[in-house]
A and B are shown apart, each in its own frame.
Chain A
Amino acid sequence: MSGRPQLVALPGYADRRDDVQFCGHCGRAAAIDIAAPASRVCGRCEMGLLIGAPSELAPAPSDPFLLVDSTLSVCGLSALAEELLGVVETKAVNRHINELLVPADAEASGPGDLVNLLVHAARGDGEVHDVVLRPTDEYGIRYWARIGPCGPPRAALMVLGDGSTIRKPSL
C-alpha cells in the first residue's frame, strides 16, 4: 500500500437506511401515512422538517432537542426545547449555541470540548456522546444531553434529557 493520501468516500445521510426519522419540531416519528412526507414537512404538526438520526440518538416525543450546524449556529429547536429554554425557534435560529447552552462544569471541561463534539457530529462523526450542560448565564440548572450526527443536511443533534437515559458524560 502506498503512503500517498487517499480520498475515502464517507456515507452521507441519504445513504443511512437504519436512521430513525423524526420531526424537527414536534419530535414525533415520521408517519408515511400522513400527507406530504415527500416534501420533508411533518404531516402531523406541519411546522418541522423530517430529520434522520441513529436510533440511540433520536429523540422520544417527550425529549427537547436542538439542531446545530458545523458553524455552531442553531438551525432548529423543537417545541419542547422552546419551552425549556424560554426562546422561540424564530429567535434562536442563526444564534451561536453558546448563547443558549454551555458546559455545566466549566473547570473540568472548557467550552472548546462541547464545540469539538458539535463540530465532529455536524461533520458526520457517527458516535453519540453524553454531556452535561447548563443554560448560558444561569447556574444551578443542569441538562443532560446526548450529541450525535443527524441529517440531511448534516448537522449535530443535541437531545436534552433528565439524565435517566444518559451514560457517563464525556465532559
Chain B
Amino acid sequence: MRTLKTSEAAAVLNVSPNTLRAWERRFGYPKPQRTAGKHRLYTHGEVAALRDALQEGLSISSAISRARESLSADTSVLVGALQSFELDRADAAMEAALALRSVERSVEEVLLPSVNELGERHGFDSAPWAFAARWAADWLQRAQRLAPPPMRPAAVLIGDATRDDLDPDALALRALQLFSVRSGARVLVLPVTGVAGLVDVLRAFEPQVVVVAGAEAPDDQVARWAYRVRSTAGALQMTLFRRGRVERGRTAGRQLAESPGEAHRQILDLLDGRARDAPVRAHDEPTLMPRRRRANA
C-alpha cells in the first residue's frame, strides 16, 4: 500500500496541508494513519479517490461522500463473495482492500464489518456466519504470519474469555492480536479457563499489559485467572476488551474501546506509560459483568 505524507497528499489534491487537516477535523476524511513519530500518513487510494470526486463534486461534503462510496465497494464485494461461499473471491476482495488501505484499516473497515453483516443477516449461529468467521480467522492468522518479528521490548498477554472461534468477539480478539503483533510487540493468547502451569508461562513471557478479551467466561473464572497472573507477574496493567457492561465498584481493570484498532492504540499508550496517569472516565470503570449477547447469538 502506498502512503503519502501530509505535504504530498496536499499536493495531489492541490490544496494546502492546513486545508487537509481542516477537512480531517470537519469531515473525518481523509483519515490518516500515524507514524511512530505521530506524523500523518495518508493512503494514496483515499487521496486519489477524493481527488477524482472533487473534480466532479459540488461541495467538499458530496465529494467526500462519493470518495467514501468508491472505497466501500470492497465491503460489498467481500460480503458478496462470502455470501456465495467463494473463498478465492473473498481473498481477492481483501487484496483489493489492501491496495488502498493499511492492514489495520482493511481489517477494521472491510473484513470485520463484512463478516459482521453476514452474522446480522443470517444469525450468529448460522452456517453462513460460521463459514465467514472461519475464513476471517484464517485470513487474520495468515496476515499474522507475514508480520515482522517483535521489535519492541513489549509483551502483551491476552486472556481469551470468548466462547469459541464462532464467538463474534473472537474475531475482534484475533484482530487485536494481529495489530499488536504488527506493531512489534510480543503477544501471547491464553484461555482464561486454564490456570494450571500459568506461573511457568508468565515467568518466561514477562508481560507488561494484560488484556481480558471476551464476555463469555464467567466472572469468577476470570477473577481466578487474573489473580494468578497478578500474583505471579506483579501489579500489571489489567485491561478489559469487549468484556461487557460497566458496573461500578468492581475493581478489575481499565475498559478498552470496542474497536480493535482503538483498543490497540490504548494498549500502546499503556505500554508507553502515557495513559498511566490519565483520569478514569465513567466508561473506563472496571467490570467483570458479561455483556448482553446479541439477540440472535
**A interface vs B, CB < 8 Å?**
24-25, 35-36, 38-41, 46-49, 51, 67, 69, 75-77, 89-90, 92-94, 151, 153, 155
Q: What separation, in Å, do the CA atoms of A77 and B18 have in the docked complex?
A: 22
Q: List 13 A-B contacts (CB under 8 A).
A: A35-B16, A36-B16, A36-B19, A39-B14, A39-B54, A41-B54, A46-B23, A47-B23, A49-B54, A49-B60, A67-B59, A90-B27, A93-B65
B59 contacts across to A, CB distance below 8 A? 24-25, 48-49, 67, 75-77, 89, 93
Is B15 an interface residue, CB under 8 A from the partner? Answer: yes
B29 to A, closest residue via Cβ: A90
Closest approach, in angstroms, between the C-beta of A66 and any C-beta of chain B? 10
- Given A40-B54, A46-B22, A93–B15 Cβ distance below 8 Å? no
Would you list the 9 A-B pairs with minimal beta carbon distance, nearest first?
A: A76-B59, A39-B14, A75-B58, A46-B19, A93-B61, A75-B62, A89-B61, A67-B58, A76-B58
Closest approach, in angstroms, between the C-beta of A163 and any C-beta of chain B? 26
Q: What separation, in Å, do the CA atoms of A12 and B220 have in the docked complex?
A: 72
Is B13 an interface residue, CB under 8 A from the partner? Answer: yes
Task: Contact check, A36 vs B22: say whether CB atoms are below 8 A apart.
Answer: no
Is B26 an interface residue, CB under 8 A from the partner? Answer: yes
Closest approach, in angstroms, between the C-beta of A73 and any C-beta of chain B? 8
Closest approach, in angstroms, between the C-beta of B164 and any C-beta of chain A? 40
Task: Contact check, B16 vs A46: say whether CB atoms are below 8 A apart.
Answer: yes
Is B272 an interface residue, CB under 8 A from the partner? Answer: no
Closest approach, in angstroms, between the C-beta of B149 and any C-beta of chain A? 42
A155 contacts across to B, CB distance below 8 A? 58
A155 to B, closest residue via Cβ: B58
Interface residues of B in 1-38 (CB under 8 A from A): 13-16, 18-19, 22-23, 26-27
B22 contacts across to A, CB distance below 8 A? 46-47
- Selected contact of A49 from candidates B26, B27, B57, CB within 8 Å: B57
B13 to A, closest residue via Cβ: A39
A46 to B, closest residue via Cβ: B19
Q: What separation, in Å, do the CA atoms of A38 and B26 have in the docked complex?
A: 22
A25 contacts across to B, CB distance below 8 A? 59-60
- Selected contact of B58 from candidates A38, A47, A49, CB within 8 Å: A49
Given A46-B15, A67-B58, A75-B62, 14 more A-B residue pairs with CB atoms under 8 Å apart are: A25-B59, A38-B14, A39-B13, A39-B54, A41-B15, A46-B18, A46-B19, A47-B22, A76-B58, A77-B59, A89-B61, A90-B26, A90-B27, A153-B56
A93 contacts across to B, CB distance below 8 A? 59, 61-62, 65
Question: Interface code B155-179, partner A: CB below 8 Å = 1, 0 otherwise?
Answer: 0000000000000000000000000
A151 to B, closest residue via Cβ: B58
- Max chain A C-beta neighbours (<10 A), residue from B22, B54, B57, B61: B61
Q: What separation, in Å, do the CA atoms of A76 and B18 have in the docked complex?
A: 22
Closest approach, in angstroms, between the C-beta of B4 and any C-beta of chain A? 16
Q: What separation, in Å, do the CA atoms of A94 and B274 have in the docked complex?
A: 41
B13 contacts across to A, CB distance below 8 A? 39
Q: What separation, in Å, do the CA atoms of A130 and B84 have in the docked complex?
A: 53
Q: What separation, in Å, do the CA atoms of A155 and B62 have in the docked complex?
A: 13
Closest approach, in angstroms, between the C-beta of B74 and any C-beta of chain A? 20
Task: Contact check, B58 vs A153: say whether CB atoms are below 8 A apart.
Answer: yes
A38 to B, closest residue via Cβ: B14
A78 to B, closest residue via Cβ: B59
Q: What separation, in Å, do the CA atoms of A36 and B18 have in the docked complex?
A: 12
Q: What separation, in Å, do the CA atoms of A157 and B245 have in the docked complex?
A: 49
A51 contacts across to B, CB distance below 8 A? 58
A93 to B, closest residue via Cβ: B61
B55 contacts across to A, CB distance below 8 A? 40
Closest approach, in angstroms, between the C-beta of A147 and any C-beta of chain B? 15
Task: Contact check, A47 vs B14: say whether CB atoms are below 8 A apart.
Answer: no
Closest approach, in angstroms, between the C-beta of B175 and any C-beta of chain A? 28
B14 contacts across to A, CB distance below 8 A? 36, 38-39, 41
Task: Contact check, B15 vs A39: say whether CB atoms are below 8 A apart.
Answer: yes
